[in-house]
Structure 1
């Protein structure tokens, strides 16, 4: 299971950046490469296509390359995932999946908390999502409520309801007031120096003198 983080360095890490293959093999990270996308696809294929008989073209709907994905690992084994998409004034959580052999853990809870924290760090105040009617109590645990004037609707052979949550942006939320280097760091790694700011050590000449 995703453990409760002790009062150590891990406690100070964002919930969406707790995994390290050697130091913290159980945790969550933002997907930044093809290998992790394959891990996400494997989890979702097992859960949605394998268990729920969702057609391939409905599960992989064309939005994956326009989204941010969180990957939960337990002992470096892909255990769960979440997809996030960002719109003008709200973020959308979707495609939460946990492999059945890991469902006795708190992986699903940790993925939701990590996703909400990532939205807060991006400065969002509203989160939107769809929940299967029978799973609405799970989402209500985090403060989600039925969307006002929303009506149940169906896709992929299940009935869903619309839900929303109101959140407060993180005190360190990304903004135009940030140092420019922070805004070019990899997604979800805004708390550590990125490769481009490390390249500044080469001291490029911004204005070459005219000779």
Structure 2
């Protein structure tokens, strides 16, 4: 995020009487953003990725579905229950990596890509991360710079799957209620992005 936008987001998103972007879910007509928790939403995410990266950009299946999808968090945006966009986040020791942002061409006149990135940044801040990282091709670099990402290594490029890419990174401030050791220990067992909502394990077992 740009510096001024980041400051505003820090103030407003720390007020826990309002939901953050990754928490809002779908509205009454099935439009909105969710964290992928089950196979139905996972398949919807995969459909979006296949349409954009394999159908439009000619990536091979093994290049697009690279073995990392079950080791990542995915955000899915739907428009009237139709899968429209997605982004993948992978978490490493000191940084979170933004990957595989995709919006189907039928929905590219909307702000879906912006909503996905903002929600992904919020999620990383809620997990306590201070560094974001990613790769971008030159044609979409300005989009990422809008969110406060900076070019690494003076824009030196490297190649993956015949695409020329540039490294980028951003420093962010964790939310004051980020998940940490020393918080309520129950938060660490709750589903991804639902750290303030009771989960099934907090109910008495029906089998004992």
Q: What is the TM-score of this pair, normalised by structure 2?
A: 0.87
Following the alignment from structure 1 to structure 2, what is the Cα–Cα distance between the partners of residues 175 and 18?
22
Q: 1:181 touches 1:196 (CA, 8 Å); kept in 2? A: no
Cα distance change on mapping 1:17 and 1:24 into 2, 3 Å:
farther
Q: Which has the higher mean CA deviation after the structures are superposed, 62-71 or 178-187? A: 178-187
| Aligned length in residues | 191
Following the alignment from structure 1 to structure 2, what is the Cα–Cα distance between the partners of residues 149 and 132?
14
- State whether structure 2 residue 192 is matched by structure 1 residue 187: yes
Q: Which has the higher mean CA deviation after the structures are superposed, 176-185 or 122-131? A: 176-185
Q: Give the equivalent residue in structure 1 for 2:171.
A: 166
Q: Give the equivalent residue in structure 1 for 2:28.
A: 23
Following the alignment from structure 2 to structure 1, what is the Cα–Cα distance between the partners of residues 122 and 153?
24
Q: Give the equivalent residue in structure 1 for 2:61.
A: 56
Cα distance change on mapping 1:148 and 1:157 into 2, 3 Å:
closer
Q: What are structure 2's unaligned runs of at least 5 residues?
A: 1-16
Residue 201 of structure 1 and its aligned partner are, at CA, apart by 8.4
Q: Give the equivalent residue in structure 2 for 1:131.
A: 136
Q: Give the equivalent residue in structure 2 for 1:4.
A: none
- State whether structure 2 residue 153 is matched by structure 1 residue 148: yes
Residue 18 of structure 1 and its aligned partner are, at CA, apart by 1.7
Report the aligned-residue RMSD.
1.7
Structure of higher CA gyration radius: 1
Of Structure 1 and Structure 2, the greater helix share is in 2
1:106 to 93, 99, 111: 111
Residue 25 of structure 1 and its aligned partner are, at CA, apart by 1.9
Runs of 4+ aligned residues of structure 1 deviating over 6 Å after TM superposition are none
Q: 1:18 touches 1:24 (CA, 8 Å); kept in 2? A: no
Q: 1:126 touches 1:166 (CA, 8 Å); kept in 2? A: yes
Q: 1:19 touches 1:73 (CA, 8 Å); kept in 2? A: no
Structure with the bigger RCO (C-alpha within 8 Å, sep 6+) is 2
